[in-house]
Structure 1
């Protein structure tokens, strides 16, 4: 039986959806057996079955939105491979591979690079530590790049040299929001939502300058990884418990689709973490 979406709120305006192609990884081996972020507590039980069922709801949401969804095979022993966003970064048919901070996730880098190469991307093997689209987000013509916990500033220079785009470095300072995609959501080519306290002063000033009309989320919505969302310019798939964020999005004309990924949140991930955009 196809999983049901948690909530679907119709868009009150005529926004236009941009076709999306994404890569996902079914959480067949998901569990929390180590601690590499504040969300993870290996002493607490997790359910792989529940994680799979919740992931299938997200997968179904993307199919209903008309996304072209590709799957990479999960690997036994790689608990976090479900968080596909960390597996690399793609733009203009080119892929920049991931080089993970923690040894537990290190094998994911080559696995994702192999898939991307087979899919026809020109793959660049990283020289510096980075965790892919977890810390690299495309906003219009620029790449927003996080650093501070999982991705180094040196990798931002690699991005510039590979893609020839402006790269805006943003420093994360709250360990609960250790990847950029937990602290910023891309709404469309011009608009973002973010959590101000997740950034240092210089980064907040830069965000305020670039996005004066941004959606600023509450601590409550951020605490359920509400910003860890994904959309196509018309619809945003978000955490179902991020109710304030949902109201703000609907007020600005976005359709919202709420999904419950509470089991995957135990590993520190949400909607966007499970989603690597493939840009050709």
Structure 2
């Protein structure tokens, strides 16, 4: 008798309305080196960076997002990576305090924007690089350290927001921010804790164990997709905007019932950033 194998339909995903902050890359270039992706000796094309960013902006508008903009400032070529500008939750904006002097002025610039747009701003004491290293998954904040944000900033988060903050240690210099090694896929899965995708080798053994315990159903991404910053993506719970070249990750998302949307940000990748780097979520 022939065995009948029942197919399991992917989970029905629900899109959540998002409000985000972005910064047009009018001054983008690579004029210094503060991460392994940056090579100042190689030419960059600002106009191409703008066109690629505009495509990302159009995708977000097409998904129904509310997109707010901060004015770019000459001399701050990395300001396009808005995610590093702070972390917002419950109407509070925890400001950024950058590791490198080259990016230092971005912190006050973003805090000024937060103040003028109705957020209560908490100025940081410890070095941190905003949503680059802080990711909200359900009610839990995953917080990265190892290269940029100081672990002391995680204590500031705990006191400020009263949420569970889980420290994760990054160990691979190519994945120097948490948002290059983890993608938040949804924030309200069946257990209420949300789910993620991640690159195991980016983390210390202890942190890998924590991730596996908290997210046993996480999507594991391969080296090839991570190498084009495929994990540096942004999801509304159903639609996931990812690097167009992360084809394996794209298929994994489809298999889980998500709708991946590929975008080419290859010029901005020269500065070490991708989709999520250009996207700061505003939670009022």
TM range (shorter): over 0.9
Q: Report the equivalent of 1:86.
A: 84
TM norm structure 1: 0.95
Q: Distance in 1 between matches of 2:130 and 2:105?
A: 14
Q: Is the 8 A contact 1:12 1:255 kept in 2?
A: no
- Would you say 1:277 and 2:278 are equivalent positions? no
Q: Report the equivalent of 1:201.
A: 205
CA root-mean-square deviation? 1.0
Q: Distance in 2 between matches of 1:96 and 1:183?
A: 22
SS of residue in 1 equivalent to 2:144: strand
- Would you say 1:42 and 2:40 are equivalent positions? yes
SS of residue in 1 equivalent to 2:101: coil
Q: Distance in 1 between matches of 2:235 and 2:186?
A: 8
Q: Report the equivalent of 2:231.
A: 227
* Residues 59-208 of structure 1 aligned to structure 2 (within 5 Å): 59-189=57-187, 190-208=194-212
Q: Report the equivalent of 1:259.
A: 263
Computing the radius of gyration from Cα coordinates, the structure with the larger value is 2
Q: Is the 8 A contact 1:15 1:234 kept in 2?
A: yes
- Would you say 1:268 and 2:266 are equivalent positions? no
Structure 1 stretches of 4+ with a deviation exceeding 4 A read none
Q: Report the equivalent of 1:6.
A: none
Q: Is the 8 A contact 1:31 1:79 kept in 2?
A: yes
Q: Distance in 2 between matches of 1:178 and 1:196?
A: 14
Q: Which runs of 5+ in 1 are unaligned?
A: 1-10
Q: Which runs of 5+ in 2 are unaligned?
A: 1-8, 188-193
Q: How far off is 1:183 after superposition?
A: 0.1
Q: Distance in 1 between matches of 2:207 and 2:237?
A: 24
